[in-house]
Amino acid sequence: MSSSEKDADSEVKEFVEFLSGDIRKGAYAAFVESGGETNDVPNLFENAPVTAVSYKDQVVAGMNYFVRVKVGDYFFFVSIYRDLSGTPQLSKVVGPKDISDPIEYFF
């Protein structure tokens, strides 16, 4: 994995936009799993903006991206795998996270 965190570039932002519906669903599940207040959770994430903030990458048979995203008012880490044909797939969403938490390898 790259050692330094980079600002989200246009490619990572496109992947996050493409996968935003799945990221919202994953953020909802991670929020509930973490013990977050569930009374208004669907409304928190259903139409929330999803914004890529920063990332680290890892070369594999394709590329793994570990991305800090903001979903509504919360930060999450998402892992995205881009295969050799260029198609991005969401692998996992973890969080909520603090803006200062370092991006580490996870799956």
43 lies in some domain: yes
The enclosing domain of 28 has a CATH number of 3.10.450
Q: Which domain holds residue 73?
A: 6-97
Residue 107 inside a domain? The answer is no
72 in the Ramachandran plot: left (φ > 0), alpha (ψ -120 to 50) or beta? left
The pLDDT tens digits of the residues spanning 50-66 come to 999 999 999 999 999 99
Instruction: Give 44 or 64, the one with higher predicted confidence.
Output: 64
Q: What pLDDT shows up at residue 105?
A: 80
Structural domain count of the chain: 1
Supply the DSSP string of 68-80, one letter for each residue: EEEETTEEEEEEE
Q: What is the pTM (predicted TM-score) of this model?
A: 0.90
% the chain with pLDDT above 90: 74
Round to whole Å and give the CA distance between 107 and 105: 7
51, 36 contact by CB (below 8 A)? no
- Over residues 18-39, the mean pLDDT reads 88
Q: For residue 34, how many other CB atoms are within 10 A of its CB?
A: 12
pLDDT at 89 over 80: yes
